[in-house]
Amino acid sequence: MDDKRTYGGMSGAAKDALLKGLRAASQNRKVRPDAPAPAPAVRKAAAFDFSTLDDYKQLRIQRAAADMMGIENPFFRAHDGLAAGTSLIDGRPYLNFASYNYLGLNGHPRVTDAAKAAVDRYGTSVSASRVVAGERPFHRELEAALAAVHGTEAAVTMVSGHATNVTTIGTLMGPKDLILIDALIHNSIAEGARLSGAARMTFPHNDWQHVDDLLAKVRLQYERVLIVIEGLYSMDGDFPDLPRFVEVKSRHDAWLMVDEAHSLGVLGATGRGIHEAQGVNPASVELWMGTLSKTLSGCGGYIAGSAALCEYLKVKAPGFVYSVGLSAPLAAAAIASLQVMTAEPERVKALRRNGERFLAKARDAGLDTGLSEGYAVVPVIVGDSAQAAVLADRVFKRGLNALPIIYPAVPEKSARLRFFITSIHTADEIDRAVAITAEELAGIRRTGSVLRQLVAR
């Protein structure tokens, strides 16, 4: 008679045979069947050595070359206090042209007092996302103030400017869509476009006609189209023809996003940005983006636009839903900064005068300032990354803090020192900065290429 027993799908006969085999194997090993099994061998695994990455090796080669030339690392220097028109570094005063403090509001008594009062009332963190932990009054107050300055229905704030672009673009755009970005667009926008999964095309800098021609050919291939530009380009200090871009996006049923990170507080008679400077109805632009870390003396980012857009982002954008809410002192500092900016438009005028002065002095000195219009950002283009690094080191040794921008942040032939102008720089500080830069660059070029300097050592 067949054995009808089953054990987990195994017949009784099969199980008996398996047990018999196991007993035999156990006896052959001379180990009692009921003895505990030996512990499995544990393979010791070392953590991955990131110094073996090719990019890291290249970084170390560059650092070694700089050391041979006696060039200090220009990045991550510790400032001893408030970085304004001047700054203390290792106890020594420097002319400071490496700060986004465009209207001199960081350190303004009204702004500082507002941040202190907010800490006393709310602490230093809201401790969770606004979806989880609820809001504080300052969240809505700040968003209402941002919407007012941009002339929009609403705004939504987030804790990172970079993440604001990434999460907003990633939320609104997908694989069936197209994103058109300016060739000189900020990394946060390029990364947001890449991570969204949408098709991406880059157009020549500020070339609205190219965008128009391109969309005439490809618009019908995509569900949504987003065009992204900046109000003031942070590497070059120029701006787009916004009315033309509005015309193009309207003609092709596209969305337009304007990154105002460096133009709020800078462009327009009262610092309201490019729409004020160029007489554009802000309602004609779907998305206004900005940061709290420059003119507004805080940290974070925001989107201003329609009420529906901001409500949608508050429930769909991962960078808002899954991130902690903006802290009280940062929000309070931004609110107070907006109030001072609005009440004191002379700060915007002072910034404009200083930018014009720096640009004129630099051009008179024969410096290549590229596309800059003299609004807060003025590059001095030197030609290659090595020369930019040498120049930054030499001017620093003469008491001027202006950092190099090198490849891949900019093309190799466009490596530069980038100067941020503020309303609180004095005429003397501007003149000295330009003179030092011109003298040191002339000295570098007289002695020949950086490579010959290195060989000579």
CA separation for the pair 324, 378 (Å, rounded): 35
For CA atoms 106, 110, 111, 115, the dihedral sign is positive
Residue among 160, 80, 85, 187 at smallest CA distance from 405: 187
Is 217 a catalytic site residue? no
* For helices 307-316 and 161-172, angle between their N-to-C axes, nearest 10 degrees: 100
Residue among 194, 208, 200, 201 at smallest CA distance from 239: 208
Peptide bond into 408 cis (omega under 30): yes
Among the options 150, 294, 361, 425, which is catalytic?
A: 294
Is 275 a catalytic site residue? no
Q: 15 and 22 in contact (C-beta within 8 Å)?
A: no
Among the options 249, 262, 275, 361, which is catalytic?
A: 262
Among the options 234, 293, 323, 423, which is catalytic?
A: 234
Is 234 a catalytic site residue? yes
Residue among 231, 177, 181, 187 at smallest CA distance from 207: 181
Is residue 456 classed exposed, middle or buried when 0-12, 13-18 and 19+ CB atoms within 10 A define those classes? exposed
Q: 44 and 432 in contact (C-beta within 8 Å)?
A: no
Residue among 161, 119, 129 at smallest CA distance from 331: 119
For CA atoms 68, 70, 71, 77, the dihedral sign is positive
DSSP 8-state symbol, 85: S
Taking the CB of residue 108, how many other CB atoms lie within 10 A of it? 20
- Residue 69, classed as helix, strand or coil, is coil
Would you name the residues annotated as active-site residues? 234, 262, 294
